[in-house]
Structures are given as structure tokens and as C-alpha cells.
Amino acid sequence: MKRVKIGNCLLEIIQGDITEQDTEAIVNAANERLIPGGGVDGAIHRKGGPSILEELRAKYTHCPTGEAVITGAGNLKAKYIIHTVGPIYKNGKSGEEELLASAYKNSLLKALEYNINSVSFPSLSTGAYGYPLKDASQIALKTVISFLKEYQKPELVRFVLWGEEAYKIFEHTLENLLT
């Protein structure tokens, strides 16, 4: 694990499972129709139980790419789930970078709206949506660092990487951004 201070806030990167995190909120890599899928989304709905989908259905019809919605977290340790939709990677020239940055930023804005002090993110768009990990790690970390500098909140942002390769890429990107 690696932890750095950005002003008074903490930024952490760990290798692990997003569904096991005890931060106040965890972020889900959802799809626009908010229909439970595979990857992070499947794991969250499986472990969190049916109340998450019930709340999504009651409150929302869909979520456009780059935006975020919020529900409770059912049986998970977190209190909230922020569901955001990252872009599907096509060729890198179809607005993917801006949309990925928006997904991170709008998730953090949603956290502030609910006075949430700690948030865990998976690496959005880098599974089924095919975003190259190295590029995605730069957008993810740059966006979160500039958000923390600007808003000085939330107190803790944790990236939870599934697997050693993803963890190493994020660690390397973070070191480069801070030097």
C-alpha cells in the first residue's frame, strides 16, 4: 500500500477488493442502464444484496456516461455506493479522457453533496470497458489529486486495485505525478 498527503487529505492506493472496504462510500463501475453486470458491478450487487438494485430502480432510470448517482450499500461495510459510468474505450480519440475524468470528478462531487468523508474507487473503465490501464491510471490520479487540492475534501480517497499488475501501474503513475 502507498499513502500520500495532498494538503490535509490522504490519497491511498492498495491492492484488494472494493466490496471489502470500510470507507463511508465505495464507487461502483456501473453501466448507463444501471443493470447489474460483471466485474466490480456484479461483485457489489452480489455481496450487497437486492436492496441496492431496488433503490436504483426506485430513484433512477439510467446514468449518462461521466455522471454519478448514489444509493445505500445494503450488506456491505460502506454506508453508500456511488454508481458512476466510465466511458467504453474505442480509440482514445472519442472523448474518452474527458469522460473518464468526469466520472471521477462527479463521483467526488456526489460524495461532498452527502458529506461523505472517505471514498474508495476501483479503476474505472479498465475491465470490460477496455481502457488501457496506464492511461487510465494517469487520468484517475490526476483528476483526484486536483480535486483534493481544490476542495480539500474528502479526507480520504482510496484506490483499490484488483491484482498486482494494476496496483504496480497505479503506484508507478503516482510516483511520477508527485516528482
Q: Would you please indicate which residues are annotated as catalytic (active-site) residues?
A: 41
CB of 139 to ligand ADP, least distance (A): 13
Q: Partners of 27 in the beta sheet? A: 82
Question: Which residue, 54 or 165, has its beta carbon nearer to ligand ADP?
Answer: 165
Q: Which of residues 129, 147, 159, 167 is near ligand ADP by CB under 6 A? A: 129
Question: Which residue, 71 or 120, has its beta carbon nearer to ligand ADP?
Answer: 120
What are the b/e assignments for 23-43, b being 16+ CB within 10 Å? Answer: bbbbbbbbbeebebeebbbeb
Residue 32 within binding range of ligand ADP, rule CB under 6 A: no
Q: Which of residues 107, 118, 125, 173 is near ligand ADP by CB under 6 A? A: 125
Question: Which residue, 71 or 125, has its beta carbon nearer to ligand ADP?
Answer: 125
Residue 127 within binding range of ligand ADP, rule CB under 6 A: yes
Q: Which of residues 24, 41, 67, 135 is near ligand ADP by CB under 6 A? A: 41
Q: Which of residues 9, 11, 13, 19 is near ligand ADP by CB under 6 A? A: 19
Integer Cα distance of 46 and 96 in angstroms: 29
Residue 78 within binding range of ligand ADP, rule CB under 6 A: no
SS (H, E, C) the chain: CEEEEECCEEEEEEECCHHHCCCCEEEEECCCCCCCCCHHHHHHHHHHCCHHHHHHHHHCCCCCCCCEEEEECCCCCCCEEEEECCCCCCCCCCCHHHHHHHHHHHHHHHHHHCCCCEEEECCCCCCCCCCCHHHHHHHHHHHHHHHHHHHCCCCEEEEEECCHHHHHHHHHHHHHHHC
Residue 96 within binding range of ligand ADP, rule CB under 6 A: no
Question: Which residue, 13 or 40, has its beta carbon nearer to ligand ADP?
Answer: 40
Residue 162 within binding range of ligand ADP, rule CB under 6 A: yes
What residue ranges bind ligand ADP (CB under 6 A)? Answer: 17-19, 29, 39-41, 43, 86, 122-129, 160, 162, 166
